[in-house]
Structures are given as C-alpha cells and as structure tokens.
Amino acid sequence: MLNKIVDNWIYLVYIVFTSGFLILSTMGKKINPIIGVLAISISGILTYIDRINSDDQGSKKSKILNENIEEQKKLIIEMAKEKKMSKVLLNNLINKGLIEQEELFEHMPSSDIYSLFCFPTPLAELKINDKKYSPPNRQYPVFLKDIGFVRVNRFSTVFVTTPRRLTKSFRNIPTLKDYLSEEIDKSLEEYWKLYLNGLKKYCKNDDLDKDEKSFFSRYYNLKKDISHDEILKFSIAIVRGKLDEKNLGCLYKSRTYSKDFEELLKEEVDLRYIDLPKERKIKIRKIMLDSSIELFFYGIEEKDLEEIKSIETKLKEELRIAKFTDYLDRSSKDMARIFLNIFPEEKANVYIKFLKKKIREYDKALKDLGISI
C-alpha cells in the first residue's frame, strides 16, 4: 500500500494544494492570486518532471527487455553449436540400429519443460461457388522459434522449450508471458494486414466472375477498417512440468512429433546416462574405427565434401592414420600438403582446423558413452 502511494506521489501534491485552498476559503481567508498562480505552476512543473521520469523508466525497461531478447537468441545459437556433435553421434548410432530411439531416454536425468499452449482465433476460408480465398500462414511461430520454442508437430498449437534453452529473464513465467503477449499482438496486427492486402489483390483476380468479385470485395470493404484485435483473439497458457522417461510415452514409432521436437529432446540427453551393454560398445567402437572422414564434415557443401573424400586414402597412407583420433597428432603443415591438392591455402587451413575440432568433439561424445577409440 505504501509503495503505491509513493509511486503516485504527484497526486498527493494535488491533494495537499487543493485541501489547503479549501481550508483557507472555509476559514474566510483571502488567497493572494500570486500564491495561487505559484501553486498551480509548481504542480505543473512537478507533473512534467514526473512524466519525464516515467518515460525514462519505460524506455529503460524496454531497453532491458530488448537486451534480454538478444541474449536469448544468442543462447539458442550457442546451444545448437554445443550439442551439434553429440546429436550427430546419436543420429548416426540410431541410423545404424545401435541405439533405439526410446532407449535414449531411459537414463535421462529429469528436467523441466515449458509447454506453451496457443489458442488462436481461426480465420475461415472465404468461399463462393468453386472460388475461395484462404488465410495466409500464421506469423507467430516464427518469433517463437527465434527464442527457442519448438512446435510439437507441424500443425500443433503447442510449443515447448526447456530451462537450459532460456536465459534467467525468460525462465520467469510472468516475464515470459508479458513478452509473448506483446509479440503475439504485433504478429496478429501484421497477420491481419497481410490477410486484407491479399484479399484486396484477390478481388482483382481475372478468374473471378462479376458476382464472385462482388462477394470478395464486399467482405473486404466490411473488414478493412476493423482493428485486428476485434477479429483475431489469442490466448496463451504456459505450463511448467517435469520431463523424464515416465511421461515421454511412445514418441517415435507413430511419428506424430516434429523433427525439431525430437532434436530438442536429444539436447536434454546426457550421453553419460546412457548405459550400453559391453558388447554393443565394442560393436560401436569397431564401426567408428571403420568410418569415413566424411563423418566429421557434417553439414559442409556437397561439392567440398566430395573433394575431401577423394583425398581420404592419400591422407591415411601418407599420414599413417590407423584411427580417426590420429589426425589430432598430425601436424597441420603435413595435412595441408595434401589438402592443397584440392583447395586454396586459406580454405585448406579452415577445413584442417574444422576436422580437428570435430574429431575432438566426437571423441569426447564417445567417451561420454563409455567408448574409447
């Protein structure tokens, strides 16, 4: 209560001045006009100062929020880099049938998950005869992805993320809710403009006859001056709960979940918790030893990958490579002599550094699984 009074101190000033003049007038006292003008002037000046301070506080709050957003987006990019190689390894082992999809989560440590439920007002197709105008794709999933939320499946209105993918500010549900509400409203405003602009162009479609053009034009004219928030209602709910093998269910066999959601779950898997039988570890080790160098150039241009594969035999023979970790002990200068046969010097050096970096990451991921190369 006291804090609210302090925050609204300017109203106390008005009350004091007004009460003072009222008391003096009831006592039959005459008020000097100069005092009245001075009191009004002081009140005006104080109000102006208070407004400036309020605007400054609002700007500061907005600036902090913008900084938080940038920090959040940066975190998502960094996490993708950090977990990339462990996910490459997991996907490789899954594709070779050495680890089952559901097996990944049997020893996964419990963690929180944020579920964002979106309840948007649907816009129906406008249809007459065999002609129709369909609403454009929704805009809000784009910025949700930017801050780390993933869609559970292609058509779902449920998005999820985990605390590790959120900065401290965004882990606070009220803060997250306020940000999402504000951004969703902006998104709806843009969506409504997109819808109306598209409809306006569609009205001029030469494939439409006179009655059809009249139908779509009439609807456009009825809606063009209406604000987006009168048409598009949008509610959200954020639920925070535990994620573990007890509530994951059968994720993969029915393929009802999106690839992005599966990848998010893999990020939550700590390889050290996967307890593989000894015989399977031996099998994985053997396959890794026989793997091609292309394993470590995941994601590069196909043309460059083919060039690198063409010199793999030469690399192994001249550098005496028995297992992929041997590349870590070979000098970059010796490796460059071979890479320079296919690439300019700058690109050769980039790929040599890239190779060694990825081998270190892959080797660490294997060791976390309890497999030494």
Which pLDDT does position 20 carry in this prediction?
60
Same domain, 132 and 250: yes
d(CA 72, CA 75): 5
d(CA 161, CA 75): 13
Which pLDDT does position 65 carry in this prediction?
73
Which residue, of 271, 292, 321, is where some domain finishes?
271
Which residue, of 271, 296, 326, is where some domain finishes?
271
If you search the block for the tokens 């030494």, which residue do you land on? Answer: 372
Which pLDDT does position 155 carry in this prediction?
77
Same domain, 222 and 287: no
Same domain, 226 and 360: no
Same domain, 124 and 138: yes
d(CA 304, CA 217): 54
If you search the block for the tokens 């009249």, which residue do you land on? Answer: 214
Which of 43, 37, 50, 49 minimizes the C-alpha distance to 7? 50
d(CA 196, CA 46): 46
Which residue, of 238, 271, 304, is where some domain finishes?
271
Helix axes 302-310, 312-319, angle to 10 degrees: 40
Do residues 114 and 242 touch, judged by C-beta distance below 8 A? no
Same domain, 286 and 250: no
Do residues 296 and 324 touch, judged by C-beta distance below 8 A? yes
Domain region containing 113: 91-271
Same domain, 108 and 233: yes
User: What are the pLDDT tens digits along the chain (373 aa)?
Assistant: 444 444 455 555 555 555 565 555 555 555 555 555 455 555 555 555 555 554 444 444 444 478 888 899 999 988 888 888 888 888 888 888 888 777 776 666 667 888 999 999 888 899 998 899 999 988 888 889 988 999 988 778 889 998 889 998 888 888 888 889 888 999 999 999 999 999 999 998 888 999 999 999 999 999 999 999 899 989 999 988 877 656 655 555 555 677 888 888 888 888 888 888 899 999 989 988 888 888 888 888 999 999 999 999 999 999 999 999 999 999 999 999 999 999 999 999 999 999 999 999 889 989 988 888 8
Report the b/e string of 237-274 with b at 16+ CB within 10 A: eeeeeebeeeebeebeeeeebbebbbebbbbbbebeeb
Which run of H or of E encompasses 235?
strand 234-243
Number of domains in the chain: 2
8 belongs to a structural domain = no
Which pLDDT does position 108 carry in this prediction?
65
- What's 110's DSSP letter? P
54 belongs to a structural domain = no
Half-sphere exposure of 368 (CA within 13 A, CB side): 17
Do residues 274 and 366 touch, judged by C-beta distance below 8 A? no
Half-sphere exposure of 319 (CA within 13 A, CB side): 25
By residue count, the chain amounts to 373
76 belongs to a structural domain = no
Same domain, 202 and 148: yes
Report the b/e string of 46-72 with b at 16+ CB within 10 A: eeeeeeeeeeeeeeeeeeeeeebbeeb
Which of 179, 350, 152 minimizes the C-alpha distance to 256? 152
72 belongs to a structural domain = no
